[in-house]
Structure 1
Amino acid sequence: YVELTGRPAHAAYMTTGINPVEAGIAVMEDLRCLETEWNLPENRPAAYRDHAHPINFNLGQIHGGEWNSSVPCTCTLGIRIGFYPQMDVNDAKAIVAQRVRDSLARLGSTLDLNIRYEGFHAPGCEFDLDNAPMLALAEAHRKAHGNVLKRQATTATTDARHFRITLDTPVTCYGPEARNIHGIDESVSIESMVRVATTFAQFMHDWCGVEPAADQT
Structure 2
Amino acid sequence: MLNKARAAARWKKHFDPQRKAKGVVPDGAAFEVRTGPDTVYLCATDRWGNACSFINSNYMGFGTGIVPDGCGFTLQNRGHNFIMREGHPNCVGPRKFCYHTIIPGLATYEDSGDLFGTLGVMGGFMQPQGHLQVLSGMVDYGLDPQAALDQPRFCLEGVDSAFGPESVENPMLLLEEGVPPEVQAELADRFGHPCQQVSSWDRLVFGKGQIICRDPVSGIYVGGTEPRADGAVLAW
Q: Which has the larger radius of gyration?
A: 1
TM-score range, shorter chain: under 0.3
Q: Which of the two has greater strand per residue?
A: 2
- Structure with bigger RCO (C-alpha 8 Å, 6+ apart): 1
The TM-score normalised by the length of structure 2 is 0.22
Larger proportion of helix: 1
